[in-house]
Structure 1
Amino acid sequence: MATLLKPSADVALPVSLDDVRSAHARVAPSIVRTPTLISRTLSKLTGATVYLKFENLQFTAAYKERGALNKLLQLDDVARARGVIAASAGNHAQGLAYHGARLGIPVTIIMPTHTPQVKVTQTRGHGANIILHGDNVDEALAFARDMAEAQGLTIVHPFNDPQIIAGQGTVALEMLEEAPDIDTLIVPIGGGGLISGCATVAKAVGGVEVIGVQAELYPSMYNLMKGDSRPCAGDTLAEGIAVKEPGSVTSAFVSGLVDDIVLVSERYLEELVSLLLQIEKTVVEGAGAAGLAAMLAYPDRFVGRTVGIILCGGNIDTRLLANVLLRDLARSGRLARLRIKLQDRPGALYHVARIFDQEQVNIIEVYHQRIFSTLPAKGLITDIECETRDAAHLDALMAALTREGYDVNPVELA
């Protein structure tokens, strides 16, 4: 695994531990001090000691309101009166809109056109003026800059701002106060604001390794730090960290303070969203699952460590969450679609259903295909969706069907 490209000399960074402490004193009265709790089940699963920081329990369900509030509280009266503008896929937008409304500061948010509806609705519910523009955060940000210049608004960048970084660093400040034995922090990276603030705290405290994690489809900071050129494109479950261009300010923090960056696939992100709901009974979005996804994707790296994981957000569309949970059931063998070749004659489906009954497998849906098939005219394909106890139960069903002479194959997920 390639190592990070480190600067040849020490670079003075614009945020210090004292800045983060000052930010915490500033924002603490108006945010939730979210719990830092050990997960015994996840610790047993990973072979590490795992602490979770539940930032999905903030009022806006994400850590982003820390940085947004820190920025708003330092605006002068003229800037407050004119208002602020930001570009965001959702969590920064909600945090800024919520605290802007509390403080009486007008807020305009430019959101990419494909932002999940739950985030658009919730942000609008906080009183912000919402404009949908562009296919991603970068295009929305370019539009926001033009609008800010034209209307004299203060742009509140989601990550490339020292005041934002200092606010986000308060997550690690609280976490390391409550769990000082943590020796490894795994932090999601989009533009880099969260990891910049957290790494500032971790390295000032000392003895803490900081690992960044990005979605495999959007390895922008990974590319920059490792001299790679992987493409940044695609529909990722972790849209909150789907950033094509990392910040110039945050890049300096990552280069100087972060020990490594790893990538995780969509499959791991999906698995951990489901696993956190099952084990911790907590809802996270794709970006919120990234830290734990890294632990499962690189298990040997974290065995025996005391790891801090930030569940950075919980704003996931309910239909998307349902899809993720059903896909996880399918991968575990508890939900399956079997494709069975039959002869088109009376009683054919009855005899197949009898085998399902014998094996105590519940049939959910049945799909017949007579026309669009490569089989002879008297043949048909039947897809049967079914519910089993586990993968072994599914295997037993398929074996029983095969013994009865049926050609059966599972329809696999990507």
Structure 2
Amino acid sequence: MDFTASNEANKRLHDMVPGGAHTYAKGEDQYPAGMAPVIARGLGARVWDVDGNSYVEYGSGLRSVSLGHAHPRVVEAVRQQLGLGSNFVRPSSLELEAAARFLATVPTAEMVKFAKNGSDVTTAAVRLARAATGRQTIALCRDQPFFSTDDWFIGTTAMNAGIPDQDLVVTFPYGDLAAVEELFSSRDVACVVLEAATQTDPPPGYLQGLRDLCTTHGVVLVFDEMITGFRWSEAGAQGLYGVTPDLSTFGKALGNGFAVSALAGRRELMELGGLRDSRERVFLLSTTHGAETHSLAAAMAVMDTYVEEGIAARLYELGSRLAAGVREVAAEAGVGEHVVVRGRPSNLVFATLDGDGKPSQEYRTLFLRQLITHGVIGPSFVVSSALTDEDLEQTLDAVREACVVYRQALDAGDPTAWLGGRPVKPVFRRFA
């Protein structure tokens, strides 16, 4: 493959955009040296870069494009709305329609407020919890990678330059109810923030146990449904597991690539940010572009498509087929204990382990390099519903070729010869 145009575009991006991308997870450093495609267009589960190379794509839009690029139903809904205007001095009738549609799709919520990104709505949930409880401390699940770009979360990461000490944030391990109960006994906790599920289903009774603990101690339970929303079910993880949080936040798949997110939850809490409550007001969410009509039209089309076409079940089925195929191919090549597929079928990731069974950025680089060479791009194996049988076949062929090279590197005891340059880097690191 030729990457001349992409490499030149990456250089120009770095000259004008800090980091060369508007999301760190899309950074050039996340891909092998000289093999970070700059995308020109996408359709379904495929994308084409500025050099004309074609790829089967996974993790589309950081898990946001779950129906595939340029999904006709979503595009048509947006096209119809664009001719009617996108933003007005007062709420549009579409805001009423979109709110009703969301609350029908996520029946565990009583009110909803839309915004443009996940960070804003998750931070709004934290602000609301602090105001409602009169407490300041946030209890954050330490085993989950990302919740917000705001100080209360980024201050807990290795990339915390410019952020004051976050002494009002405490953390707890996922799946450990005793650890949460201990936090509640030692700190006045305002809210517990976590993804209801991660790479595996929650331990039996865990979510209900959290619900009960939070109720007993007057703590607001917040589910971050950015990933689990729609990928687990149309109503998110809370809909699948039958445990209702006080507040929840949605985004990503909600817009199929269009910018829309949602804060949803109990009326008693949400009304603190409204005009019908006698308590002290909370500046909850107030965004100029939060209810752009074309994004809400996209969200309604997404919700209708999920419900009517059983998209969550299709994502599960496609992911199950892919996971089984990758495991079979890896085992055949003798690397089944080194190329490891993990996660719920609708949200698959892969681990690349060295000869000692430890996670390796070098072997990840080797693996990504081989996938890209054979027309597959993605930092994960997160599927979209647009994947075809031919796409899956090409993916497994690419994995097969990658596993052959992986075995050669393991036998050599050193993957360096197959890297083509520096290894890919973790996002959260102190220095570039």
TM-score, L = length of structure 1: 0.32
Higher relative contact order (CA 8 A, sep 6+): 2
Higher strand share: 1
